[in-house]
A and B are shown apart, each in its own frame.
Chain A
Amino acid sequence: MKILAANAGTLTNFEVLDFLRSKGAAKDSTRVLANVVPSEYKVYDYLVKTAACNQTKENIKEFSERCKKFDLAKAEVLNIINMRPSSAVGVYPIVEQCADRFEDVEELVELVTTMLPPPPTQPESEGGNTQPESEGEKTQPESEGEKTQADSEGGKPKEGTDE
């Protein structure tokens, strides 16, 4: 094995996700049909939960275009695209010496929140937190989240009986 170029280009999370999707990775529950290896599915599972999930090529292109005026390093732009910080405190660790370089971080935050679509985890996790509670009291759920509900319901009554 010979390494010709250790770094032949950086990829955003979105590009990796896009590549895996083009190979056929999807929310296929059986995971046998597509020509995707289990280790690739693990990466896919991680990436669909990040902000990369809803991004598109156009989003990212335009964002990096508009980012130029902030004079950010390439790695910082890449990191912002991957993390999609939605508040100043999210931008702060990514951008080196943020306080010195930026008069107003909010401008960058606003650009991020308007240009890049929000990650799917936030609504999901919020929903996940509220759902089990309400469902514990109510009766039967819809088909989609049956597994998680089964788990949480299986856990909750037990606690109740113990008490």
Chain B
Amino acid sequence: MFYLSRLEHTFRVPPSLLSLPCEEVVKGELEKLFLDKVIAKLGLCVSVYDIRSIKGGFIFPSDGAPTYTVVFRLIMFRPFEGEIIAAKLKESNSTGLRLSLGFFDDIYIPVELFPIPSSFKPDPNKKDKGTWEWEFGGDPFIVDGIDEILFRVRSISYPSIPLEQPEQAKPFAPMRITGSIADDGLGPVSWWVDANPIEEP
């Protein structure tokens, strides 16, 4: 789920910060730049793990501040394909489920990755919201959002930044995880609490 990534970045340190220790300033600037941001193909940056080297400190002509080249490692959130993760339900509508990890909300379970047969029960009070039900052995299993939902990571996509967005569009998500709950042991935790293995002939 979490990886370390080594990066190099060259940036300017404003002169107002030069009275502080160099490492502290560099770390602060890196945190400002990368924390809680998605880097395409690398994932969501959680934290600056360490700083490997700080080089440079040149002051370019007609610039009043030093420029450093820093090599550092970041903790990235980037699940691998096939990983099982527990998440909370955020939204449930006719197109599927949207799950949240608290720090990451763009996890989608599309209808085609539900256990079969699943059906959608629209909520009459709320527009296009509702609950999903999986029918197994004659009993309905409801995705109610009370307990955590286990899902398998199907794919991670990094959509490119749109040039123009329609007005009522959802906020742009730079990283989207598509998950599946169509397997034994996946879905809300409560589905499987009393599950007994069935001996196959």
A-side residues, CB < 8 A to B, are 1-13, 15-16, 19-20, 23, 37, 39-40, 42-43, 45-46, 50, 75, 79, 82-83, 87-94, 96, 121, 125
Distance from B145 Cβ to chain A, minimum over Cβ atoms (Å): 14
Taking a contact as CB atoms under 8 Å apart, the answer to whether A43 and B46 are in contact is: yes
Which residues in A have their C-beta under 8 angstroms from that of B97?
Answer: none
Distance from B12 Cβ to chain A, minimum over Cβ atoms (Å): 14
Taking a contact as CB atoms under 8 Å apart, the answer to whether A42 and B9 are in contact is: no
Taking a contact as CB atoms under 8 Å apart, the answer to whether A93 and B183 are in contact is: yes
CA distance A13 to B1 in the complex (A): 7
A-B residue pairs in contact (CB < 8 Å), sample of 5:
A13-B2, A40-B46, A42-B102, A89-B184, A89-B185
Taking a contact as CB atoms under 8 Å apart, the answer to whether A3 and B47 are in contact is: no
Contact of A8 among B6, B8, B86, B192 (CB under 8 A): B6
Which residues in A have their C-beta under 8 angstroms from that of B150?
Answer: 83, 93
CA distance A39 to B76 in the complex (A): 13
Taking a contact as CB atoms under 8 Å apart, the answer to whether A15 and B2 are in contact is: yes
CA distance A82 to B3 in the complex (A): 13
Given contacts A92-B185, A93-B150, contact A5 B5 (CB under 8 A): yes
B-side residues, CB < 8 A to A, are 1-9, 31, 35-36, 39, 41-42, 46-47, 49, 71, 73, 75, 77, 80, 82-84, 86, 101-103, 147-148, 150, 152, 183-186, 192, 195, 197
A3-B6, A93-B186 are known; give 8 further A-B pairs, CB within 8 A. A8-B3, A8-B5, A19-B47, A79-B83, A89-B192, A90-B185, A93-B84, A93-B185
Taking a contact as CB atoms under 8 Å apart, the answer to whether B83 and A6 are in contact is: no
Using CB atoms, name the residue of chain B closest to A12: B2
Distance from A16 Cβ to chain B, minimum over Cβ atoms (Å): 5
* Residue of B77, B83, B147 ringed by the most chain A CB atoms within 10 A: B83
Which residues in B have their C-beta under 8 angstroms from that of A12?
Answer: 2
Taking a contact as CB atoms under 8 Å apart, the answer to whether B9 and A1 are in contact is: yes
CA distance A41 to B187 in the complex (A): 27
Using CB atoms, name the residue of chain B closest to A51: B86
Distance from B149 Cβ to chain A, minimum over Cβ atoms (Å): 12
CA distance A91 to B84 in the complex (A): 10
Which residues in B have their C-beta under 8 angstroms from that of A91?
Answer: 185
Contact of B7 among A3, A9, A16 (CB under 8 A): A3
Which residues in A have their C-beta under 8 angstroms from that of B31?
Answer: 37
CA distance A79 to B82 in the complex (A): 10
Contact of B84 among A5, A9, A83 (CB under 8 A): A83
Which residues in A have their C-beta under 8 angstroms from that of B197?
Answer: 88-89
Using CB atoms, name the residue of chain A closest to B72: A4
Taking a contact as CB atoms under 8 Å apart, the answer to whether B103 and A42 are in contact is: yes
Given contacts A19-B75, A46-B101, contact A8 B46 (CB under 8 A): no
Taking a contact as CB atoms under 8 Å apart, the answer to whether A45 and B102 are in contact is: yes
Contact of B75 among A16, A50, A75, A90 (CB under 8 A): A16
Contact of A4 among B36, B47, B71 (CB under 8 A): B71
Which residues in A have their C-beta under 8 angstroms from that of B147?
Answer: 125
* Residue of A19, A39, A121 ringed by the most chain B CB atoms within 10 A: A39
Which residues in B have their C-beta under 8 angstroms from that of A92?
Answer: 183-185
